[in-house]
Amino acid sequence: MRTSLRSGIVLALLAFCGGCICAQQASAPAPKRVAVRAGHLIDGKSDTPVANALILIEGNKIVSVTPGGSAPAGVEVIDLPNATVLPGLVDAHTHVLLQGDITAEDYDKQLLKQSIPYRAILAARNAQIALSHGFTALRDLETEGAMYADVDVKKAINDGEITGPHMQVATRAMTPTGMYGPLGYSWEIRIPQGVQYVDGAEEIRKAVREQVMYGADWIKYYSDHGYFYGPDGVLHSHVNFTDEEARAIVEETHRIGKKVAAHAIGSDGIAAALRAGADTIEHGDGLTDPQVEEMARRGIYWVPTIAVGAYVANGRAGNWPKMVETEKKAFQLALKKDVKIVMGTDAGGFDWRGLNEAKEFEYYVNYGMTPMQAIRSGTSAAAELLGWTDRMGSVEAGKWADLVAVSGDPLKDIAELQRVKFVMKGGAVIKNELH
């Protein structure tokens, strides 16, 4: 009796739900269609801009790109006849949960005096700043003590609760015990750590699994600290992990299908990260000639973050100003040897409100890239690093409708990218100052 009543209810529920699904399917509106007419289009792949291109968008994706084409009847056209349209920009090294840390005091204050919820509110604001500057995708490389709050920021963006770029996140990053700040406090006080301390291969494997469980897209670790010039003129550093430990990070991360970003500034830290098999080298100021050759040969990405180095140099003094020059030489060699250079700024290492991340492009051009090479480092090359070439990095059919526009010609003046006037993400106009 009771059983038959229960199955009756189940049947009724099934019938009701089935009805729901049908009704939804019948009334689902067709995806919105809109077209963007670009006076000039730099599509992220071609060597030269396309004049008068029509980009047809349906929902969140690009349907077609036609030089000189006209929009189908009834489709709204966003006319940008005097603008240069480009793919949405990508910053492959950011910290949305950080508000600048020229000195250790700047850093410690944030970890000791700001709650993680407060920092997450600022992170949401920073994501909006990045998007308004034209950055439609970020790889955020660790929360600096804010645990897994980057996963929450990403979720809020993906759920449409706040506006912000597409994100890949690294959660907590790793060093061995005592190799990352805040440091120097009384042993009687327990203070927050900027990273997850891990020691020994077993603990490392568990930490990798734990971070991935909580939403890490990347595993980030600090390969070195304490940068100094040797008598050989090379920028050296103290290596954090034993080779066995660093290999455990990379092996376990790769085994579960993720990739590893290694912070490595001195040549010793870079050498250790290359031995371990890291996928991307972050900063890399002290890259030596043989290391540049090795990275080119093995197809390892370099994310130079030059803007932050120059920004903090005077405040940090010591070796930091000289390191800017050292990195410039490394950049020029890497460019000559065809290392895969991807644009990344370390935003958060500088105040998000103080510097437009697109300043990084200007350094690349000053250091020898053509403007087109610089643009690719922050569009198609960055999409390759993120493993998202099927969805972004260029303006072509099938990709996300992530577009930016500037009123001048970025091939003549790369600083134009610091004056983005139009931003579209997933077919939605975020900003339009061009009319």
> Residue numbers of the site for Zn ion (CB under 5 A)?
346
Q: How far is the CB of 221 from Zn ion (least distance, A)?
A: 12
Cβ proximity to Zn ion: between 222 and 367 the closer is 222
Cβ proximity to Zn ion: between 377 and 394 the closer is 377
Q: How far is the CB of 361 from Zn ion (least distance, A)?
A: 18
Helix axes 116-132, 149-158, angle to 10 degrees: 50
Q: How far is the CB of 312 from Zn ion (least distance, A)?
A: 11
Q: Which residues contact 305 (CB under 8 A, 6 or more apart)?
A: 93, 282, 283, 344, 345, 346, 349, 360
Cβ proximity to Zn ion: between 94 and 291 the closer is 94
Q: How far is the CB of 283 from Zn ion (least distance, A)?
A: 8
Residue 251 identity: E
Which H or E run includes 263? strand 259-264
Q: How far is the CB of 141 from Zn ion (least distance, A)?
A: 5
Q: Which residues contact 199 (CB under 8 A, 6 or more apart)?
A: 176, 177, 245
Q: How far is the CB of 355 from Zn ion (least distance, A)?
A: 14
Cβ proximity to Zn ion: between 88 and 100 the closer is 100
Residue appearing with tokens 């991807």: 342
Sign of the dihedral through C-alpha 386, 421, 311, 369 = positive
| Cβ proximity of 62 and 44 under 8 Å | no
Q: How far is the CB of 393 from Zn ion (least distance, A)?
A: 22
Residue 25 identity: Q
Cβ proximity to Zn ion: between 109 and 337 the closer is 109
Q: How far is the CB of 173 from Zn ion (least distance, A)?
A: 9
Residue with the closest Cβ to Zn ion? 346
Q: Which residues contact 225 (CB under 8 A, 6 or more apart)?
A: 175, 179, 180, 237, 238, 240, 269
9: tokens are 């209810």
Cβ proximity to Zn ion: between 108 and 346 the closer is 346
- Using DSSP's 3-state secondary structure scheme, residue 295 falls into helix
270 CB-side CA count, 13 A: 29
Q: How far is the CB of 279 from Zn ion (least distance, A)?
A: 16
What CA–CA distances, in Å, run from 241 to 196, 198, 229, 247? 13, 9, 21, 9
Q: How far is the CB of 300 from Zn ion (least distance, A)?
A: 18
Cβ proximity to Zn ion: between 36 and 141 the closer is 141
| Cβ proximity of 284 and 235 under 8 Å | no
CA-to-CA distance for 187 and 107, rounded, in angstroms?
Answer: 19
Cβ proximity to Zn ion: between 111 and 372 the closer is 111
CA-to-CA distance for 96 and 174, rounded, in angstroms?
Answer: 18
3-state secondary structure 64-114: EEEECCCCCCCCEEEEEEEEEEEECEEEEEECCCCCCCCCHHHHHHHHHHC
256: tokens are 């579960």
Cβ proximity to Zn ion: between 268 and 346 the closer is 346
3-state secondary structure 189-251: CCCCCCCEECCCHHHHHHHHHHHHHCCCCEEEEECEEEEEECCCCCEEEEECCCHHHHHHHHH
CA-to-CA distance for 166 and 160, rounded, in angstroms?
Answer: 11
Cβ proximity to Zn ion: between 43 and 346 the closer is 346
Cβ proximity to Zn ion: between 142 and 402 the closer is 142
Q: How far is the CB of 233 from Zn ion (least distance, A)?
A: 26
| Cβ proximity of 333 and 302 under 8 Å | no
